[in-house]
Homo-oligomer: A and B are copies of this chain.
């Protein structure tokens, strides 16, 4: 029971998503998730603090990687270039979870508690990116605008990517969206 399970986290996530989809998030217990994954409750709590965080595992890493991309952009990079780099970083994370993305979105939409949690994570991501952009020399307002714009493009591209019948890569969809946004604002 206490021994190392090489793919325990992934099994627990898959089991949780499946149960939330079948029975509803509220109605599913940690014991049921563990049982479906063939693991114990104790193992569950080694990986996740609660059943909600199963859905948000990876969001800290997403934030770190998007911030790191802004920090690592070349000195010559424009603000839009930094946003593009952050979106490319997000693409890598999203492709890893494509399989669950549509179901996860549906589960989150079903619960006010989960929607609230998702929005808090999004606000944290925007704040972290704005901070990173300030450190790269952006003024306060420009940093906020750019960070929100990055979140906007990510959100619009994500919605398109999840439903895309051609399963185009997130990176391509996000880059196209960023280019489209540029066109819109340039044509003012």
Contacts and interface: CB of A to CB of B under 8 A. Distances in A.
A181 interface: yes
Interface in A103-151: 112, 115-116, 119, 141-142, 144-146, 148-149
Interface stretch (A2-10, A25-33, A75-83, A89-97): A75-83
B81 A184 contact: no
B152 A145 contact: yes
A177 interface: yes
Given A142-B183, A148-B155, A186-B186, 4 more contacts: A84-B188, A115-B116, A116-B116, A185-B185
Contact of A116 (B81, B112, B185, B188): B112
A80 B185 contact: yes
Contacts of A185: 80, 149, 181-182, 185-186
Q: Is the interface of A mostly helix, strand, loop or mixed?
A: helix
Contacts of A141: 156, 160, 176-177, 180
Contact of A187 (B80, B115, B148, B183): B80
Interface residue tally on A, bucketed by range = 20 to 34
A154 B34 CA distance: 45
A80 B187 CA distance: 7
A142 B188 contact: no
A139 to B, nearest CB: 8
Nearest to A156: B144
Contacts of A160: 141
Given A141-B160, A144-B156, A181 B149 contact: yes
